[in-house]
């Protein structure tokens, strides 16, 4: 009986460790994706600063849009700052105020759509304005939900 129990405990421990590894993977993926998003945004800013034709920027905007599809699913329980085995700047506020986090995410979508339209439209001024609005939506989520 003791051996059986020990077996169960061992299995539970292995299961727990595997789950923790999966969560660490989710965090690595989301951070890599966000880093790429940051690089896209920097490249878009360079285009806006140069005041050049923004049409070549469409693909970058679309890459950012693709990343933010199902963004919320990249934040499962147990991936907040302070969780065991997790290296992240995701603040626990994401989970204690999920509605606010979801709203911040929802606010970005239309701004990225507008940014894509502005890039495709070819006006440097409209592009720069739309980029500023999109960038503000990034900051609106980072301030409450991302550690410095």
Q: Counting contacts by CB under 6 A, is residue 38 touching ligand HEC?
A: yes
Query: In this chain, which stretch among 8-16, 45-53, 104-112, 114-122 interacts with ligand HEC, using CB under 6 A?
Result: 104-112
In the complex, the smallest distance separating the C-beta of residue 4 from ligand HEC, rounded to whole angstroms, is: 40
Nearer to ligand HEC, 17 or 43 (CB): 43
Q: Does 108 bind ligand HEC (CB under 6 A)?
A: yes
Question: Among 34, 63, 83, 114, which residue interacts with ligand HEC (rule: CB under 6 A)?
Answer: 34
Contact of 27 with 20, CB cutoff 8 Å: no
Size of the site for ligand HEC (CB under 6 A): 23
Question: Residue 25 interacts with ligand HEC (CB under 6 A)?
Answer: no
Angle between helices 98-121 and 58-68 in degrees, nearest 10: 160
By the rule CB under 6 A, 89 interacts with ligand HEC: yes
DSSP string, the chain: -HHHHHHHHHHHHHHHHHHHHHHHHHHHHHHHHHHHHHHHHHHHHHHHHHT---GGGHHHHHHHHHHHTTGGGG--TT-STTSTT----B-THHHHTHHHHHHHHHHHHHHHHHHHHHHHHT-HHHHHHHHHHHHHHHHHHHHHHB--
By CB under 6 A, residue 41 contacts ligand HEC = yes
Q: Which residues are at the interface with ligand HEC (CB under 6 A)?
A: 27, 30-31, 34-35, 37-38, 41, 64, 88-90, 101, 104-105, 108, 134, 137-138, 141-142, 145-146
């Amino acid at each position: 009986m003791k051996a059986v129990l020990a077996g169960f405990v061992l299995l539970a421990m292995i299961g727990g460790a595997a789950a923790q590894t999966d969560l660490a993977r989710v965090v690595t993926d989301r951070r890599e994706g966000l880093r790429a998003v940051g690089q896209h945004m920097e490249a878009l800013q360079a285009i806006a600063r140069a005041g050049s034709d923004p049409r070549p920027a469409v693909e970058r905007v679309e890459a950012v849009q693709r990343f933010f599809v199902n963004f919320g699913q990249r934040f499962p329980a147990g991936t907040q700052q302070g969780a065991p085995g997790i290296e992240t700047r995701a603040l626990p506020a994401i989970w204690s105020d999920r509605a606010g986090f979801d709203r911040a995410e929802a606010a970005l979508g239309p701004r990225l759509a507008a940014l894509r339209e502005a890039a495709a439209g070819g006006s440097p001024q409209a592009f720069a304005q739309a980029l500023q609005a999109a960038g503000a939506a990034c900051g609106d989520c980072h301030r409450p939900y991302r550690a410095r």
